[in-house]
Amino acid sequence: MPNIVPGVVWQPVDVGNRARRIKGRGLCGHVAVSSSKNLAPGPLATRASDWHFYLPKSGPAIQYIDLDLQCWATGAGNSTMAAFESEGGLGTEAQVNAEPWTDNQLNWAARILRHMHDTEGVPLRVMASSESSERGFGTHRLGVPGYMTTGEVWSSVRGKSCPGTAKHDQRFEIVRRAAGGASLEDDVNLSDPLSWTRPDTGKTVTFSVADWIAYTNYYTGQAVSQIADLTAKVDALTAKLGSATPAGSKLPTEFDLSSIARAVADELDRRDRDNDPDTGRSS
Ligand SMILES: [Zn+2]
């Protein structure tokens, strides 16, 4: 059974007696310099290169070569690196450098990387170079003479814009998507300790994540009810001032809103101090 990424269009091409790929290292992104929606490698007898996948700007990725086998897209990286080609890369050098991968291309690149992570342990990280010790996701450019410093040579064409700068910079986004957009929330448990240092006192407190959530919810609720309470008092005061104005004199048409805001903030501070077991009375 060939190793196919779920969801791709499987369109196998003849690869002859192709060597197996050494698994676990990574995936390399290329740009095809083409507006084709499906760029199958040419006849085996005459083809100089081929690639596992093609990513059109829209629509599903197409897979041509079994991921268990090598493809010929990445020079000295072929024995270990899977590779995709992608629609785009046409125009002037400036246009090539400015053109990003589409959302669709980013998602398919992420799905391929994720499949390689799940099935062969490729780490979800960006390769820093084409060094043989580097694993994860990289672009062809990492191994293009003229861009690269050290590592495996992945191209015979010096300075080849494969891909341009905008795509090269998206390698972090591909890794992020492959990780499912993982964020802090996905990695913490409710029982994990979480510390916070008060900027005003420098004092550090540590609670469980669950307690932090309860604590912040409680004080948000307190603040909301205090603001409602203060708003009512300001309204009452406004009405009183209005009725206290002697007949015939001019009613105030403007309030000093910044003074009122300051007074409200001071009052909230005072109540916060009084309620804080660290600094004030708690009853
Ligand atoms: Zn390339």
Q: Distance (Å, rounded) from C-alpha 54 to C-alpha 13?
A: 13
For residue 221, report the distance from its CA to the centre of ligand 1, in Å. Answer: 56
**If you measure from the C-alpha of residue 30 to the centroid of ligand 1, how many angstroms do you get, rounded to a whole number?**
4
Identify whether the C-beta of residue 220 lies closer than 8 Å to the C-beta of residue 272. no
Q: Which residue's structure tokens are 């015939």?
A: 248
Going from the Cα of 6 to the center of ligand 1, the distance in angstroms, rounded, reads 24
What pLDDT is stored for residue 185 in this prediction?
44
* C-alpha 168 to ligand 1 mean position (Å): 11
Residues 140/147, Cβ–Cβ less than 8 Å: no
Instruction: Give the β-pairing of 26-29 and 136-139.
Output: parallel
Q: Which amino acid is at 137?
A: F
Per-residue confidence (pLDDT) for residue 251, from 0 to 100: 57
pLDDT of 10 reads 98
How many angstroms does the Cα of residue 139 sit away from the middle of ligand 1? 8
Q: How far is the CA of 74 from the centre of ligand 1 (A)?
A: 7
With the CA atoms of 221, 227, 231 and 237 taken in that order, what torsion angle do they form, in degrees rounded to the nearest 10? 130
> Is residue 161 packed enough to be buried (19+ CB in 10 Å), middle (13-18) or exposed (0-12)?
buried
pLDDT at residue 184, as a whole number: 42
Strand, coil or helix: 208: strand
CB 73 within 8 A of CB 30: yes
Strands (E), 30-185: 53-55, 62-63, 81-86, 136-139
**Ligand 1 centroid – CA 13 distance (Å):** 19
Backbone angles phi, psi at 271, to 5 degrees: -65, -35
Q: How high is the pLDDT of residue 43?
A: 97
Contact indicator for 146, 80 with CB cutoff of 8 Å: no
What the chain holds in terms of domains, given with CATH numbers, is 9-184 (3.40.80.10), 193-275 (no CATH)
Centroid of ligand 1 to alpha carbon of 73 (angstroms)? 6
Determine the Cα–Cα distance for residues 30 and 85; give it in Å rounded to an integer. Answer: 5
**Ion ligand 1, residue ranges at CB < 5 A:** 30, 140, 162
Q: Which two tokens stand for residue 183?
A: 């964020």
List the pLDDT tens digit at each of the 283 positions of the chain: 999 999 999 999 999 999 999 999 999 999 999 999 999 999 999 999 999 999 999 999 999 999 999 999 999 999 999 999 999 999 999 999 999 999 999 999 999 999 999 999 999 999 999 999 999 999 999 999 999 989 999 999 999 999 999 999 999 999 999 999 654 444 567 777 777 778 788 888 888 777 777 877 788 788 888 888 888 888 888 888 876 656 555 555 566 777 788 888 888 888 877 766 665 554 4
Spatial contact of 56 and 85, defined as CB atoms under 8 Å apart: no
Cα 51 to ligand 1 centroid, rounded to whole Å = 10
Centroid of chain to Cα 233? 47
pLDDT in the model for residue 278:
63
Q: How far is the CA of 70 from the centre of ligand 1 (A)?
A: 15
230 alpha carbon – ligand 1 mean position (Å): 65
Run of H or E including 19: none
Q: Check residue 146 and give its pLDDT.
A: 95
Helix (H, G, I), strand (E, B) or coil at 205: strand
CA of 138 to the centre of ligand 1 (A): 11
CA of 194 to the centre of ligand 1 (A): 45
Question: 254: CA distance to ligand 1 center in Å?
Answer: 68
Q: How far is the CA of 179 from the centre of ligand 1 (A)?
A: 24
